Structure 1
Amino acid sequence: MSELTAFFSGEPTELIASELLGKTLRYQTNQGVMSGYITEAEAYLGQNDSAAHAFQGKRTPSNEALYRDPGTIYIYSIHGRYMFDIATQEAGVPQGILVRGLEPVEGIEIMRQNRPREGYELTNGPGKLMQALGIQDKALNLISLDEAPLTIQLTGKIPAKVGESSRIGVSQNGNGTLLPLRYFVAGNPYVSGMRKREMDLENRGWK
């Protein structure tokens, strides 16, 4: 079992999502390397979670990645925006984590070419970070993080405080709507919807 497989299957999905904060997302492209620290993530708990794509055991070609081995990339689109999700738990247990925010480290100029925005607007949201990385299709869907040019390194930063809230933009029906399954680095400006008065501009929420 690889280190990433163990990370994405060894604990409850909500705990994995909180522990994902500060880990390094790295993407090797023909343009160059882009990377950043994960600042925000949401857990989705499968069959019993009304906000999850696999609610009530729904299985389609579109969400097949969720049923694969832990660490499988699940890319989907909402209103023309692409999202980056990672399957968690053992194969057949369709849980996952949506990566919602990224603090850029490497390849910032490449990101700006892909998404002409300045400051925190570059990657402070799930669709924004995918645009900044230049991922605007599903070519990486169903590929393991161990084998893809897009991967996660289990090193990086440690949050000083992890914030929790209900998830953003989920279905308003059922038991999953208000579950506190969104985790973020408190004070980090690269978190979606972070208010200016709550931003830690000195340390960006890291220890």
Structure 2
Amino acid sequence: MNGSQSQGDAQHGPLLSSEIYRLPALQAAPLLLGQHLVRRTEDGEIRCRIVETESYGGREDKGSHAYGGRRTPRTEVMFSAGGTSYVYLIYGMYHCLNVVTGERDDPQAVLIRAVEPLTPADAALMALYRGTALKKPAGLSDGPGKLCRALRVDKSLNGLRLDQAGGPLWLEQGDPPQSLDIVQAPRINIPYAGEFEKLPWRFYLCDNPFVSVRDKQEIKWAPY
């Protein structure tokens, strides 16, 4: 785990650059790697490093909930200005956390697939919230449903601004993405996406143990 502020520390790190929120999801997804997700709870603040993301790129992406401009009570938040949280439930039991990016009315979102606790104190509080025995440390948050349980993220956090510190959830600057070993691969569990299923729109930190799934056909990501 990387060193950072201790869990419960009242000092906030610098907020994530607003420029990232304005980018299309495909550009924002790799730039969110290495950044810090902060969850404030009644037991203190938890800080995590984002290690895996997936891009969902708007109306044309058949893997997106907003494909074709679909605008429903669930997807409405995707049409917000970048920097908003999008939280939804899958299989009736697992929540998923997304960062809305891009311009208002252009439904772009980045799924946070895996995070790594920054300190042992962060990991201990996350394990308490998970409330289950773990076969390995990475099992704490190596998947979107797992990390939401470990951070107590549910639909009550849907529609939050993530560019403002002090609320229940926000993003802070972490490692410069250009300094990280990032790879990309196809997204997971979207067989309905047709020709979009195999596009390499998932990004993760190479060799990080908290990554949910590694792909044999991963390719090196090159900064834009």
TM-score (norm 2): 0.80
Report the secondary structure of 2:150's partner residue: helix
Deviation, 1:7, is 1.7
Work out whether 1:131 is the aligned partner of 2:153: no
Deviation, 1:3, is 5.7
Asked if structure 1 preserves the Cα contact closer than 8 Å seen for 2:38 and 2:48, the reply is: yes
- Separation (CA, whole Å) in 2 of partners of 1:112 and 1:45: 33
Match of 2:123 among 103, 108, 133: 108
Q: Residues 35-75 of structure 1, C-alpha deviation per residue, up to 9 Å, x if partnerless? A: 11100000001110000000001000111110001011000
Deviation, 1:33, is 1.0
Work out whether 1:121 is the aligned partner of 2:143: no
Give the direction of change, closer, same or farther, for the CA distance of 1:4–1:62 in structure 2 (3 Å limit): farther
Structure-1 residue corresponding to 2:106: 93
Residue range with higher mean Cα deviation, 170-179 or 101-110: 170-179
Structure-2 residue corresponding to 1:73: 85
- Separation (CA, whole Å) in 2 of partners of 1:28 and 1:3: 17
Can you give the 5+ residue segments of structure 2 that lack an aligned partner in the other structure?
1-14, 216-224
Asked if structure 2 preserves the Cα contact closer than 8 Å seen for 1:25 and 1:151, the reply is: yes
Deviation, 1:173, is 3.8
Match of 1:165 among 185, 188, 198: 185
TM-score (norm 1): 0.86
Task: Tell me the matched-pair count.
Answer: 192
Report the secondary structure of 1:113's partner residue: helix
Asked if structure 2 preserves the Cα contact closer than 8 Å seen for 1:44 and 1:96, the reply is: yes
Q: Write the mapping of 1:10-21 to structure 2, written as runs, cut at 5 A.
A: 11-21=23-33
Runs (4 or more) in structure 1 with deviation over 4 Å come to none
Work out whether 1:40 is the aligned partner of 2:58: no
- Separation (CA, whole Å) in 2 of partners of 1:77 and 1:85: 12
Can you give the 5+ residue segments of structure 1 that lack an aligned partner in the other structure?
196-207
Q: Which amino acid aligns with 1:20?
A: L
Deviation, 1:162, is 0.7
- Separation (CA, whole Å) in 2 of partners of 1:110 and 1:25: 15
- Separation (CA, whole Å) in 1 of partners of 2:24 and 2:116: 25
Asked if structure 2 preserves the Cα contact closer than 8 Å seen for 1:50 and 1:171, the reply is: no
Percentage identity across paired residues of the two chains: 32
